[in-house]
Amino acid sequence: MARANALAHRALRSLRPQPTFPVGQCRWFALSARRANDKPQQSFKSQLYESTQQRLKRERAEQERFAQYQTQSPGGRYAALVFALVFFSTGAYYLGSLRPAGLPSSSTTSVSDLDPPKHNVSQSNLQAAWADFVDILGKENVSTAPGDLEMHAGSDWSSYWRKEDEKPFLILYPSSTEEVSRIMKVCHQRVIPVTPYSGGTSLEGHFAPTRGGVCVDFRRMDRILELHPRDLDVVVQPALGWEDLNEELSKDGLFFPPDPGPGAMIGGMVGTGCSGTNSYRYGTMREWVLSLTVVLADGTVIKTRQRPRKSSAGYDLTRLFIGSEGTLGLVTEATLKLTIRPKSQNVAVASFSSIQNAAECVTHVVEAGIPVAGVEILDDVQMKCINASQSTSRQWKESPTLFFKFTGTPVAVKEQVGMVQKIVSNTSGRSFEFARGEEEMQELWSARKQALWSVMAMKRSPEDHVWTTDVAVPMSKLPDIIEATKKDMTQSRLLAGICGHVGDGNFHAIILFNDSEKKIAEGVVHRMVKRAVEMEGTVTGEHGVGLVKRDYLEHELGESTVDAMRRLKLALDPLRLLNCDKVIRTEQPAPGEVKEW
């Protein structure tokens, strides 16, 4: 039976289709089979042993690498860690810088929102800059002489007491707008603060180099560039003195009216928006500047407008820079308006029993509309100082005195003198004297020009200081503030006098004091400024703000107004390089630095 089944199975298998292969493929299968049969069979135990050996080898390699790391010094591991941190931080900073910072959304900037400026006044940076400046100006126009540094750090008549470390690193003497531009490009690139310097007659700490850096002295830029007699204008450089300008203009019968005082130069006059003895008739510096060429903080050169007398084209950048005290840009050229030199002029002097009577006389002259060229006041203390210092050729009545200047045709001058003489008589005037010739006119007017120098001549010792300051009020308030200030000065027991261009409500105080009397002098000035603000006046009529008056601005104008000024400063000088710390603060004051109001 079994045999029958086996035969049947073989018969069925023979009936299935059999695969066919090429002869070569059959030979390949036969060869493979023989090689497989020749290879010894590996046991499971052998495979396990081999796997264990490979794992042990890997573990030993890892242990050796760890041991090698452990043998490294801690400093090496720390350096590697620092390198990794710096690498990834730098990469993160770079990626973050690809996205620009958002623009400020406020129209003003509070000082509390600002970080301190980050200037680079390191010796290495300044010394490298010295080489750059020498390339621009020549070695002879880059000074590090101790005498030059001291002279450009302050002056005896400034009311700001500079600190010992407030000196420039070097002084630069450019001769053109192009050179000033190149200087500013270097300073901007190296983040070096810059202090501009013109005549050096400023009184409120305008050119104190509070952040060190460099000082740009414009003394080589003192030329008249263009004179247009038919257009009544002139283009000048900033270190030209107003007296020298008028001497040259007189050859053509022309006249530049602002006259702030001896030694003043056009650059400083623009910077402070000054005025002078002619301001009642002719106005302040702001009325006599047509256009300015200005170098901005990054070296960009702009011209604020063309030469016509009037223009309504765009923002009035000319007046933005006038009074900015070099904090927004450096003035390298100024186009000034001129007028015809008066055909005739005269001077009169009137004395009074009290300073209030003299001030009331001025108010009546203004109310009467008499077009006098100037009205100046000197109190009894000033007149005593002038006599004691023998700074003029005559002796004066030691009582409050008014000085009048008249200009125009001979008939008009004679008429003005008569009208003023009548008003003097009606306001308790003690005397009235007018000049009878050019020489006598110069003699009468000389006392007003010697006011400051006569007080300085009264110094008791080299340690004495002179504080000169000014305020201005509406004309109707002038008698009251002068009387109150005079009383305060008398009670202080300091040698202190009053003078000023009272025709436009502006007067000055000149105070002599020593180190021990400094607090007393500060109190007199503080109360004088406070009175002016409370009478709707200004903390400075013509001297400018500088360092001394900057913290009073918020009381006069309001915090928001000062914050708007700060935004303008940051817009034009974002690195805060130009005449640092003047006019407005760009860094929070130290505790106790701001006086209580």
User: Is residue 120 in a domain?
Assistant: no
- pLDDT on residue 431: 93
Q: Do 336 and 359 share a domain, yes or no?
A: no
Indicate whether 368 belongs to any domain: yes
Q: Examine the domain organization and report whether 414 and 450 are in the same domain.
A: yes
- Residues 550 and 557: their CA atoms lie apart, in Å, by 11
CB 292 within 8 A of CB 273: no
Verify that 486 and 371 share a domain, yes or no. yes
β-bridge mates for residue 405, sequence order: 347, 374
What per-residue confidence (pLDDT) applies to 48?
52
pLDDT at position 98 is 57
Same domain, 291 and 363: no
Same domain (yes/no): 361, 509: yes
Closest CA to 301 of 135, 175, 182, 173: 182
Output the tens digit of pLDDT for each of the chain's 597 residues: 444 444 444 444 444 444 444 444 444 444 444 444 444 455 555 555 556 666 667 666 656 655 554 555 566 666 666 676 767 677 666 656 655 556 778 999 999 999 999 999 999 999 999 999 999 999 999 999 999 999 999 888 888 988 888 999 999 999 999 999 999 999 999 999 999 999 998 899 999 999 999 999 999 999 999 999 999 999 999 999 999 999 999 999 999 999 888 889 999 999 999 998 899 999 999 999 999 999 999 999 999 999 999 999 999 999 999 999 999 999 999 999 999 999 899 999 999 999 999 999 999 999 999 999 999 999 999 999 999 998 888 889 999 999 999 999 999 999 999 999 999 999 989 999 988 888 888 888 888 878 888 988 899 998 899 999 999 999 999 999 999 999 999 999 999 999 988 889 999 999 999 999 999 999 999 999 999 999 999 999 999 999 999 999 999 999 999 999 999 999 999 999 999 999 999 999 988 889 889
Q: Is 333 helix (H, G, I), strand (E, B) or coil?
A: strand
Question: Are residues 412 and 444 located together in one domain of the fold?
Answer: yes
- Residue 397 pLDDT: 92
Residue 584 within any structural domain of the chain: no
Q: Tell me the two tokens of residue 178.
A: 């192009």
Which distant-in-sequence residues (6+ apart) come within 8 Å of 412 by Cβ?
344, 371
User: Rounded distance, CA 110 to CA 523, Å?
Assistant: 28
Task: Check whether residue 315 and residue 351 sit in a common domain.
Answer: no
Sequence-distant (≥ 6) Cβ neighbours of residue 280 within 8 angstroms: 366, 372, 373, 374, 375, 501, 503, 504
Q: For residue 164, give the DSSP letter.
A: T
- End-to-end Cα spacing for the chain: 134
Vertex 521 angle, CA 518 and 525, to 5°: 135
Distances in Å between the Cα of 565 and the Cα atoms of 532, 585, 587 are 22, 10, 14
Query: 571 lies in a domain?
Result: no
CA pair distance 542, 269, nearest whole angstrom: 9
Looking at the structure, do residues 320 and 348 belong to the same domain, yes or no? no
- Quick check: is 540 in a domain? yes
Full residue range of the structural domain in which residue 493 is found: 344-548
Q: Alpha-carbon distance 281 to 507, whole Å?
A: 16
Q: What is the pLDDT of residue 157?
A: 80
Kindly report the CATH number assigned to the domain that includes residue 255. 3.30.465.10
Strands (DSSP E) along 353-426, which ranges? 374-378, 401-408
Closest CA to 332 of 214, 193, 178, 207: 178
Task: Give the pair of three-digit tokens for residue 184.
Answer: 């500013």
Quick one: CA dihedral 572, 578, 584, 586, positive or negative? positive
DSSP string computed for 357-424: HHHHHHHHHHHTT---SEEEEE-HHHHHHHHHHT-SSS---SS-EEEEEEEESHHHHHHHHHHHHHHH
CA dihedral 283→284→289→295, nearest 10 degrees, is -170
Within a domain: 427? yes
The domain tally of the chain equals: 2
Last residue of a domain, which of 302, 323, 340?
340
CB atoms inside a 10 Å sphere around CB 347:
22
Phi-psi region of 130 (alpha: psi -120 to 50; beta: other; left: phi over 0): alpha
Four-residue CA torsion sign, 311, 314, 316, 317: negative
Q: How many CA atoms lie within 13 A of 398 on its CB side?
A: 7
Could you tell me if residue 385 is inside a domain?
A: yes
pLDDT recorded at residue 19: 45
- Gyration radius (Cα) of the chain, Å: 42
Q: Parallel, antiparallel, or unpaired for β 170-172 and 214-217?
A: parallel
Tokens of 325: 């005290």
Do 313 and 354 belong to one domain? no
Residues 141, 139: Cα–Cα separation, whole Å: 5
In contact, 267 and 196? CB cutoff 8 Å: yes
E-state strands within 79-183: 142-143, 170-172
Specify the DSSP class assigned to residue 538.
B
pTM comes to 0.81
Q: In 3-state terms, the chain is what percent helix, strand and coil (to 5)?
A: 45, 15, 40
Q: Domain of 430: which CATH number?
A: 3.40.462.10
Q: Bridge partners of 401?
A: 351, 378
Query: Do 300 and 351 share a domain, yes or no?
Result: no
Task: Give dist(CA 481, CA 505) in Å, integer.
Answer: 10
Same domain (yes/no): 277, 357: no
Per-residue model confidence (pLDDT) at position 423: 96
Q: Is residue 468 part of a domain?
A: yes
| CA 422 from centroid of its chain's CA atoms | 48
Closest C-alpha among 101, 105, 100, 102 to residue 567: 105
- Please say which residue of 523, 548, 573 terminates a domain: 548
What distance in Å separates the CA atoms of residue 188 and residue 197, rounded to the nearest whole number?
18
Cα-based distances in Å from 25 to 16, 21, 33, 499: 22, 6, 12, 127
- SS3 of residue 580 by DSSP: coil
The amino acid that residue 43 corresponds to is S
Q: How many CB atoms lie within 10 A of CB 96?
A: 9
Residue 348's DSSP bridge partners are 404, 434
DSSP for residue 107 = S
Domain stops at, among 548, 565, 592: 548
Report the half-sphere exposure of 328 (CA within 13 A, side-chain side): 25
Co-location of 481 and 414 in the same domain: yes
